[in-house]
Amino acid sequence: MPIPPSPARPHSPPDPEAEVRHEARLWSDAGWTARVVKNEDDDGWAVEMYRRGQAEPALVGPWTMGRDKKNPKPLDAAAFGTLVKTASEVVRRHEQHLHAMLHRAFTVPTAQGPVQVTLDVVPDDDHPFATLAARDAHGELLAEQRVAPGFRLTAAGAAAWVAGGCRRPAG
C-alpha cells in the first residue's frame, strides 16, 4: 500500500506511462488515475483524479473514511467508474467554457445570402490576437481581419461590419 503524502514529502502526479493498476489508494485504468491522499486541511482524506499525461488533477474531492475511522475506504471499480465519469464531465465543461470564451459566431442575413461572422481568439502568452472573419453560405472566405484579443463581437457589430463592406473595425 502506498504511503500517503506528507507536508515534508509533497505528492507528485501519477506516472502517465502507467497502464492498469488497481490498489487500495491508487487506481489507474482507461486513461485516468485516481489517488487517495491525506487531506492537508483536516483529518480526512481526499481523492485526486488525473487524466493521463496531465500534471494537474482534473478533479479533487473528499474521500470516505474506512470502517476504522482512521484510514480511507479503498478504491474499487464502482467508485473509480463514478470518479471517471465526474472528472470527464468537469473536463468537458471546462473545454466548453474555454471554447465559448475564445470563439464567437453570428449569422448575418444579406441580399446575397447569409454571412457567417466569427471571432477566434488566440490566447498566446506573448502575443495574443483575434481573427475576425466573414464566410458566405458555402464557407468561402469573404474577409478576414486581425483584431485585438479583447475585441468584443456582438450581433449588431457583426451586422454593421458586413454592411460596411468588412472594413477593418475600430478598436
List of residues 6+ apart from 137 with CB closer than 8 A:
113, 114, 115, 116
Average pLDDT, the chain: 87
Task: Write down the pLDDT at residue 16.
Answer: 46
Q: What is the grid cell recorded at 1? A: 500500500
Q: What is the model's pLDDT at position 171?
A: 55
Per-residue model confidence (pLDDT) at position 167: 85
Helix ranges restricted to H, 61-132: 77-102
Lookup: cell for 164: 460596411
Backbone angles phi, psi at 5, to 5 degrees: -70, 155
What the block records as the C-alpha cell of 106 is 453570428
What percentage of the chain carries pLDDT values higher than 70? Answer: 88
Q: Rounded to whole angstroms, how far apart are CA atoms 106 and 95? A: 21
pLDDT at 146: 94
Sheet with 115-122, edge to edge strand ranges: 103-108, 115-122, 129-135, 141-147
Q: pLDDT-derived band of residue 2, with 50, 70 and 90 as boundaries?
A: very low
Q: What residue segments make up the domains of the chain, in order of their start?
A: 21-100, 109-163
